[in-house]
Structure 1
């Protein structure tokens, strides 16, 4: 079983993310919370691909290369990054908080169902 804790030395993830895990809410259809190994691996890759940013990933979209991250020391605002895009073209969406991102994740599911 994959471990999801979001207890990493490189960033302090918000309690709301940890609460989702404790409630068993880790799969949101098109989006899912990454396990600790995936999070660490993506963190390292994002730092290499986007060296001018400090992106701290927590969720991945299953059907493309989108990653939900926090940027810098801000653990409130959620940035959706299209990973592997050229630097400067990676920013896809910005949400003011986790709740707004969760609404977006639900909208993604509805769009997938209608197509």
Structure 2
């Protein structure tokens, strides 16, 4: 076993400023664009990081297609489909470091899709 300072450590995934290991839950209106920001993610060993965001269909209740834009960058974007009202969409962030061996961290975002607001602004 290596001393702490000589070992590789997992990245710390931070989404929208949250660096806990808790699942992030967001209420997003159907038809809206959703952005998740993991740009504050860091590696304790200062290794370079790669990002992958993906739709985890099996865990949620929405069965349609979700397209995640910029899925290989710290900031991912997706438009919530209009037909997703009342469902959950699960999105996973996978972060890999460049250390040896490569280590990973994962975070989950659960999107509770709500109906469109009827509020109009003048």
TM range (shorter): under 0.3
Structure with a larger share of its residues in helix: 1
Structure with a larger share of its residues in strand: 2
- When Rg is computed on C-alpha atoms for both structures, the one with the higher figure is 2
Name which structure has the greater RCO, CA cutoff 8 Å, separation 6+: 2
Give TM-score, length-normalised by structure 1: 0.23
